[in-house]
Amino acid sequence: MIRLTLSFLLLLFAGPSWADTDGHPVTLWRAQGISNSVYLLGSIHLLRAEDHPLPSIIDTAYNDAEVLIMELDMDDLDALATQQLFNRNGVLHDGTTLRDLMGEELYERAAIAAKANDIPIDMLTKSEPWLAAITVEMLALYRIGFNPTLGVEMQMTSRAVADGKPIEGLEGIEEQLAFLDGLSLDAQRDMLIQTLEDSASIGESVDEMIRAWRYGDLEFLESALLDSFAEHQELNEALVTNRNRRWVSQIDELLDDADDYLIIVGALHLVGEDGVPNLLAQRGIKILQLSEPDSIR
């Protein structure tokens, strides 16, 4: 089973011998407007040092774009304000605990899984289940060498800031947290339990997931999406399909512009029937998956 934790790596977020070879597809598309192009790059939000450099065609798309757009404008995020938002939306302040929200049976199951991951369950006691799940996910990924500063968004943000290239966001941080905080308690419980139980073996699947991302293996990525959310319809709608539909309307408007854009979103937003490329194609927009080492023009 493809793990929900790994899917989060390609949603919200190659070994050193993986040399790029001629002619392989990349998780990158070009949508053609009347007088401009909009590039759609699937991201992994956290990467490792050995996952770099990125495919060179990503650099080409970046250089061709006048504007960089991501799920969030990473350069505009205030660390203190963001932490306050997490505290307001995800931290329990009224004496309620995670045990209260999970119920005794599920809490004991969570505690067993947390212990197997060397995570003291007490550190999560004041977190709502969705925030506890994100905390567990980040800890699991950090332990095997993943870092957000090495992820696609942070790398591209640093370049854009240095180059003076405008950066925009499809959403605000308040909006993203609202998606999570608005999940039903049942969905949040499921999210935490599966994240905890999957985290112990995350290293077994991560290389395969990154290979699929790097080499544009849409069949594998779509299977990952379907497998991860097959029993989590509410999560799928809140975190994937509803957001995809909103973004498609925003992207459609950009195709009437004169500037070229590079849009970076989690890779699993770009695959399947409800993926952004397919939804754009349904609107009659010409869109093409690119390959390494294609020329952009």
Give 160-204 pLDDT, tens digit per residue: 999 999 999 999 999 999 999 999 999 999 999 999 988 877 877
Is pTM, for the whole model, over 0.85?
Answer: yes
**283 by DSSP, 3-state: which?**
coil
Per-residue pLDDT of 113-150, as tens digits, reads 999 889 999 999 999 999 999 999 999 999 999 999 99
Going by their DSSP bridges, the two strands 67-70 and 261-266 should be labelled as parallel
Higher per-residue pLDDT: 280 or 2: 280
What's the pLDDT at 136? 93
Q: Answer for the pair 191, 133: CB distance below 8 angstroms, yes or no.
A: yes
| pLDDT-derived band at 15, boundaries 50, 70, 90 | very low
| pLDDT-derived band at 296, boundaries 50, 70, 90 | low
Is the predicted pLDDT of residue 293 greater than 80, yes or no?
no
Is the predicted pLDDT of residue 236 greater than 50, yes or no?
yes
Q: Is residue 297 part of a domain?
A: no
277, two tokens: 């490329």
What's the pLDDT at 115? 93
115, two tokens: 């212990």
Q: How many independent structural domains does the chain possess? A: 1
Q: Mean pLDDT for the chain?
A: 89
Q: Is residue 34 part of a domain?
A: yes
Q: Answer for the pair 141, 202: CB distance below 8 angstroms, yes or no.
A: yes
Nearest C-alpha neighbor of 41 from the set 22, 21, 51, 55:
55
Instruction: Tell me the residue range of the domain where 167 lies.
Output: 4-292
Min mean pLDDT across 12-21, 28-37, 226-235, 241-250 is at 12-21
Cβ neighbors of 219 (< 8 A, separation 6 or more) are none
Q: Is residue 73 part of a domain?
A: yes
What's the pLDDT at 237? 93
Per-residue pLDDT of 47-100, as tens digits, reads 999 999 999 999 999 999 999 999 998 878 788 888 999 999 999 999 999 999
Nearest C-alpha neighbor of 262 from the set 54, 86, 99, 114:
54
Mean pLDDT of 249-278: 96
Q: Is residue 35 part of a domain?
A: yes
Quickly list H helices, 103-151.
104-116, 129-143
User: Tokens 């495919």 — which residue?
Assistant: 55
Percent of the chain with pLDDT over 90: 73
9, two tokens: 């790596």
Q: Is residue 227 part of a domain?
A: yes
CA distance 28 to 14: 17
What's the pLDDT at 254? 98
CA distance 137 to 143: 10
Q: Is residue 133 part of a domain?
A: yes
Q: In whole angstroms, what separates CA 288 from the centre of its chain?
A: 21
Is the predicted pLDDT of residue 208 greater than 70, yes or no?
yes
Q: Is residue 255 part of a domain?
A: yes
Quickly list H helices, the chain.
4-9, 56-64, 79-90, 98-102, 104-116, 129-143, 152-163, 173-181, 185-199, 203-214, 218-229, 233-236, 242-254, 276-282
CA distance 24 to 13: 23
